[in-house]
Every structure is written in C-alpha cells, then in structure tokens.
Chain A
Amino acid sequence: MIPFKYNVRNLRVRWKTTLMTVLGTALLVASSCILFGLVEGLEHSLKVSGDPLDLIVLRKGATAETTGGFESKKADELLTLNGIARDGDGPLAAKELLNIPAAERVSGTYNNLIVRGVEPASRKLRPDFKIVAGRDFESGKGECIVSRFVAKNYKGGQVGGQLAFGEKEKYRVVGIFTAGGSSAESEVWADLKDVERNTGRDGSVSCVQIRAAGPEEFAKLRKEIEDGAQFRLAAKPEAEYFATQSDVSTFFKAAGTLIAILLTFGAMFAAANTMFSAVKSRTREIGTMRALGFSRGDVLISFLGESLLLSLLGGALGLLATLPMSFLSIETMNGNTFASVNIDFRFGFWVMAVALTMTLVMGLFGGMLPALRAVRLEVIAALREL
C-alpha cells in the first residue's frame, strides 16, 4: 500500500493546478446544491403544511383550494360535526376564503398574491403560527397580517403599509407572521368577514380546514363529509392534498437533476484532465514505485485515492459555499395557482446527496482512466522516460 501521504503531498506540490481544479469543481457542485436546496425547501414547506389529523374540505371535483368553492351554509354545518377536535375557544375548524389579486412588487413588476380570509381557529390549524412583528389583526377592521417575504417583496406590504388590490380591496398591514415554514408563509391573511365583503363573495367559502379529535374520528368525519346527503363534498387528508400540490417541486427536481447530471459530467472531465496530467508528469515515479515492489493494484488505488481526494476538496468547498445560502429565498410563481410562492433554501438530505454523488462520480470516473493508464505502464519504459 502506497502511503496516502504521498498523494496529499503531490496535490500540495502542484498546488496551482489543484487549486484551479478544486475551485472549478466546487462552483459546479455549489450550483447543483443550490438548486436542490430549493427543492428541499419547497418539499419541506409542503410536508409541514399537512397535519395527519387535518382534513381539507373542497367542492367535489376541485383539486385545489384556489378553485374549490362551495356554499357557506354547508360550511357552517360542517363546523358543528361531531369528532372535530376542540379547545377552550371552540372547535378546531375554520372556514377560509381565498382571493388571488395581482400585486405590485417593490421592483415594479407584478405577481398574484393569495389573500386568505381566515377565522381565529385557522391559526391553530397551522404549525407554529406566530406573530413576529407588529400584532395580529382585529376582526372587521380591514387589517391584515403578512408573511416576511410579502413584507420584503411587495409594495405596501410592510407593517404600517397598505396592500391595495383595486378600489374595493384594501388591507392595512399590522403584523408579520410565521407558520413553521409551511405554505401559509407565501400568503396574506385577513379577516374572513373583510375578505367576504371586499370581494362580494359572502355566502361562499373556498375551503374548510378541520382537525379531527383522533384517527377514528378522522375516518368517520371523512366518510360523513364525502357521502352525507347534505354535504357531498371532497374531504382530503391534508398531507395527501399538499403532496398533489407539488407540481412546481417536480419540475424543479427534474430540472435540477438534469443540471446536476450535466454539471457532473463537466466536472468529471475537468478532474480527469488534471489527473491525466498528474499521471503523465509522474511517469518515472510510478516506474520507481513499481520497481520498489508496489503492485499494480497499489498504484491503481493510490491514483484513484488522489483523484477522490481532489474531488472531495472540490465537493466540500462547494458544499461550504452553500452555507451562506441558508438566507436565500426566491419568490416565483406556482404554476398551479398562478400565484406567488416563496421558496426558502434548505440544507438537508437532497443537498448532501447531490454533493456526495457528484463528488464520488467525479473522483471515481474522472480518476479511473488516468489511474488505469498509470497501472499499464511498463516498469522499464517508465523508468527510461524523461
């Protein structure tokens, strides 16, 4: 076994080449990691949005809360059903009404925002609902609370500002909320009554959110809402519902994978290039080692190890470069609802997996051919080489 120190020293001696290769591959790894960090963030927000005991009730046939409205009368009856979890303030269930008006960004461009009219229980139905700045809105006063990203990106979205969607729909921003990273963090929340009045849609709701008291009640509630003659609505488990809302995530993942694959190949060739040159300039050394009695296998492992070390440096640096990205969040459009969605970069499984895969592929496949060439050298010819 050729000591590993040999490879480390070699990389150090050729530090310029090593540095160039490491920087080059690190950038490629970082690019892929950023994309997958966004996929991760998106999936996380969808995952935490669904509580296992939560049901979302929509009109039958509708696939999203932005499209599935039904009558308020039915919704009121839903709230009185047995089996809904309760606390001191009443049942954990809420009628919600969504509107998707266009809003102007700080940059002057437009996107559609989801304005959600909510009831007090809506807050308890989201994970970790918290007011982080200002205060919660008071009912019936035309006030609203927004997520941090709306406050940052939209005109009038700051505390004390006013979000105006045309003449009739205006809300004063009184606070900023977070909801455990769930999808609610892309929305504007206002009082249900205010949204009903402003949009002229009293008498209807977009969806009803219900938390069941337990797994048994969950199944019973679901059956009653779907089959009961007075309802005939679709009651979907929230977890399932949010899984179907992940079209954007699928696209991101597909695009991210394609980009990662192409970048891996690019990086692989770069690593191979460096290793080929390393092998070539060390032909005599290899001959010497073989003459000293190191086997072909030893040489192969040694050069593969050096290549892996090289790509490991690149991979680690690339991964490191994504650390400041934890603050990265992008705002884009959800192709499903045509409404704004905020995606936070999240460091997790996917990012690690991508960095690791790229590093291994780069190191092993990039190093394989040069290492094989080193192995195939004839001892005599190698020693004779200049």
Chain B
Amino acid sequence: MKYLTYILRNARRNPVRTGLTVASIAISMFLMMILTSFFAAMTEAQSASKDFNRIIVMNANGFAGQVPIARVRQVEAMDGVVAATPFSWYGGKYQNQRVLFAQFAVDADKVFDTLDEYKLPPDQLAAFKAEKSGAVIGPKLAREYNLKVGDPMPLQGDIYPVDLKLNIRGIYESPRNTDQRMVLFHFDYLDDQLRQLGSSSGGSTTQPSSAAGNAGIIFVKCKDAASTATLCKKIDDEYRSTDFPTRTQTEEAFGQMFSEMMGGLKDIVYWIGCAVVVSLLFVSGNAMAMAMRERTTEVAVLKAIGYDKKLVLGIVLAEAVLVAGLGGAVGALGSKALFDVVDISPFTGGFLPFFYVPWSVALTGLGVSLFLGFASGVVPAVIAANSSVINGLRKVV
C-alpha cells in the first residue's frame, strides 16, 4: 500500500498521455456498453417475464398463420389457466404515417388480468371495458404524441383494410423494461368491422390471417410456474391434428425467438466488440510502453537502491491497471448512469422500446478494462523488471 502514492504520482506525471489513454478506453468502453446492452437488456427483460408465468400460443407456422378466436375460450377453460386474451397485431398507420409502435387487439376484460404487471387505475379500466372503441396506451406514447385520456386516436389499416376510430380511455403504467409504447384496443371492435366487410363485399380481405376471427397469438396467464410446461404441451397436443396446429411456448422463449431472428446481426456486434478490445490492447499497451521507455533511468535507480524485480513488475502493472481501470470505470459506469437518467427510446423511433445498461454488462465492462490494463502492462513491466541497471543508468533518453 505504501507504494500507492508513488504509483499515483507516476500515473499523473504525464497528465496528457494518461488523459488520452483514459479517454480512449472510456469512449471505447462506452461503445461496447451500448452494443452489448442492446442484446443483454432484451435478454434480461425476457427472463424477467418468467415471474409472470405466462405462455404464448401461436400458429405452428409462424405469426402469419391463424389461431381461431374460439380457442381463447377453450384455452381459458383448461386447468391451471387464470386468464387468456388474444393479442392480434394490427400494424396500422397513425396520421397516415407508418409508425413504430405496436397496436394490439385484445380482450379488454382479460388483458390486465393476463398482463398483471401493467397497471391501470380502476376508473380508467372500467371506462375502457365499457366502450367498444376505447383504447389504452402506454405512457411513453402519450408523452411523445402529447395524448391524454379522452383524446381520439384514429388508426389507418395497413395489413387490414379497415380503419379504427379509437378513443383513449386510459394510460397504463408498467415496469421500465416493458414496452411502454403500446396501443391496446377491443378485439371485437376490429373483428366486427372485418365481418361486416366480409359479408358486404364478398370477402375482400384476401389474406386469411387478416380475415375476421383470427386471434393472432394468445397470451395465457397460468396459475403457477409448474403448470406452464404442462399447459404448453397440452395446448399443442389438443390442436395438433387440426387445420391450425399451434406452437406454444413460455413468454421468455417467445421473446428469445425474436432475438434469434436477428441472427447474424448479433455476431457482427460481438465481432466489433472483440476488435475494439484488441485495438485497445494495442493502444494502452503502447502508452504504457512509451511511459516506461521514458523512465528507463528511473527504473535503474530503483533497482540500484534495492527494489527487487517483483516489486518493479508490480509497480508497473499496478499503474497500467489503474489507468485502464479508470478509463473502464468512466466508460462503463458512466454509460450505465447516463442511460439510467436519459431515456433514448424516442430517438430510436421506437426501434428500442426501452434501453438501459444492465449491471451485469457494466461490471463486465469494468472487468474487461482491468484485464486490458493488466495485459497491456505485462510486456513493459517485464522489460522494466529485467532491464540491466548499468545500461539503464548509462542510457540518456
């Protein structure tokens, strides 16, 4: 510990170099935090959904397939099911613009029992249930478009050939790592319009998946964790030999499916992360080597007055770890703090419904930078420890 002052003084001796090394590591760490958090935050949110014991029923052939609406009631009647609601992607336009917030047709009576971490004041919930064209929206969406309870929210169909004239009856509250930009509205409101259209124009909805009577997917709330696996199997077995076989999985697995779909994008992100780490190894190793070269004489003096190899090695390594660690702390913890305070989701146009740096990622970043410091210090430290005292004293730098 008594050498700490010496190490600190050494690190501060060339403030420009130390500053540049710290800045270079901090910026690169900041970038790595953003890249890795993108997937880590998604994974964390998915595993958080485990607590809610929900399973999701979809057509075995993907989202484009149908799940008949009658199955919502059939599933709900099964043992171990608390509530179930259709969750049909409307994918419409707002103000005649394509938008990046999700709009779902749901069962108004059941949706807040199924998604029980989403909270809605009782009066708003009652008003939503009572009005067929009522809608509930997320708090971020309300802020972004400056919408209040009571405002109309007309949506134009894209997948569906019908428009919706919704009225906002409530704004839900939900945990941070959930989608706070959804629009939820009555399934019946959409379905009735589709039925009328079907009978009047002889079936102008030509894609069966956008015809009336399709639940899209079904969100099912189970009684407890134990019943989720058995229910998944039971539901799939039940519908196996029908026209619309299903694939039922836990909410976590359903979410994972989306990140799996990202496929190669994930690899690219990791490659870039690796390239940045290797590059930083060169950069900080270089800085440390330069620092040591300037101190050749000094190291020789240290050794001349009796400091042994190990101590010299330790002092140099400690300095490298300190500088890199400082950079890592600024970059990793700084980014965590920044994204905890600033919500960047509006700037991504809804591509990211939420973004934050999980602790696991921030601490990994810090660990990586400490390792960087160690690895980049090894070569200069070994050189310094093995340097000859005579030559060092003779050398003029």
Residues of A within 8 A of B (CB): 16-17, 20-21, 23-25, 27-28, 30-31, 34-35, 38, 59, 61-64, 67-71, 99-102, 105, 109-112, 165-167, 169, 199-201, 203-206, 244, 251, 258-259, 262-263, 265-267, 269-270, 272-274, 276-277, 280-281, 329-333, 335, 338, 340, 343, 386
Contact = CB atoms under 8 A, between A and B. Distances in A.
Contacts of A272: 20
B310 to A, nearest CB: 25
A61 B157 contact: yes
- Classify the interface of chain A: helix, strand, loop or mixed: mixed
Interface in B1-39: 16-17, 20-21, 23-24, 27-28, 30-31, 34-35
Interface in B259-296: 260-265, 267-268, 271-272, 275-276, 278-280, 282-283, 285-287, 289-290, 294
Given A24-B280, A201-B206, 12 more contacts: A17-B289, A20-B283, A34-B268, A99-B64, A166-B60, A204-B206, A205-B206, A270-B286, A274-B290, A277-B290, A330-B264, A330-B265
Nearest to A16: B289
A273 B17 contact: yes
A371 to B, nearest CB: 14
20 contacts: A24-B279, A25-B279, A27-B275, A61-B156, A61-B158, A63-B93, A64-B158, A100-B64, A101-B61, A111-B263, A112-B63, A166-B245, A251-B351, A259-B31, A266-B279, A269-B20, A270-B283, A273-B20, A330-B263, A332-B264
A276 B17 contact: yes
Interface residues of B, number: 63
A338 B275 contact: no
Contacts of B158: 61-64, 67-68
A344 to B, nearest CB: 11
B289 A273 contact: no
B91 interface: yes
> Which of B156, B157, B261, B272 gathers most chain A CB within 10 Å?
B261
Nearest to A264: B27
B396 interface: yes
Given A203-B206, A269-B27, A274-B286, A110 B260 contact: yes
B328 to A, nearest CB: 13
Contact of A69 (B206, B261, B278): B206
A338 B261 contact: yes
> Which of B21, B158, B279 gathers most chain A CB within 10 Å?
B279
B16 A71 contact: no
B62 A112 contact: yes
A263 B262 CA distance: 24
A62 B285 contact: no
A367 to B, nearest CB: 13
> Which of A35, A62, A69 gathers most chain B CB within 10 Å?
A69
Interface string B347-368: 0100100000000000000000
B65 interface: yes
A331 B264 contact: yes
Interface of B: 16-17, 20-21, 23-24, 27-28, 30-31, 34-35, 60-65, 91, 93, 98, 156-159, 161, 203-208, 210, 245, 257-258, 260-265, 267-268, 271-272, 275-276, 278-280, 282-283, 285-287, 289-290, 294, 348, 351, 396-397
A330 B267 contact: yes
A371 B375 CA distance: 31
B264 to A, nearest CB: 3
B285 to A, nearest CB: 6
B182 to A, nearest CB: 16
B268 A100 contact: no
Contacts, number: 192
Given A102-B61, A169-B61, A266 B28 contact: yes
Contact of B262 (A70, A199, A333): A333
B283 A24 contact: yes
Contacts of A20: 282-283, 285-286, 289
B156 A112 contact: no
Nearest to B89: A338
B27 A265 contact: yes
A70 B30 CA distance: 49
Contacts of A273: 17, 20-21, 24, 283, 286-287, 290
Nearest to A25: B279
A21 B397 contact: no
Contacts of B156: 61
Contacts of A110: 257, 260-261
A165 B348 CA distance: 34
**Which 6 pairs between the two chains have the least Cβ-Cβ distance?**
A330-B264, A204-B206, A102-B62, A24-B282, A269-B24, A27-B279
Contact of B276 (A27, A67, A330, A331): A27
A290 to B, nearest CB: 21
A25 B204 CA distance: 59
Contacts of B34: 258
A220 B64 CA distance: 35
B264 A17 contact: no
B331 to A, nearest CB: 10
B16 A276 contact: yes
Nearest to A370: B16
Contacts of A167: 245
A332 B206 contact: no
A330 B269 CA distance: 12
Contacts of A199: 208
A273 B279 CA distance: 14
B290 to A, nearest CB: 5
Contact of B23 (A61, A67, A101, A269): A269
Contacts of B245: 166-167
A274 B17 CA distance: 9
A17 B279 contact: no
A71 B204 contact: yes
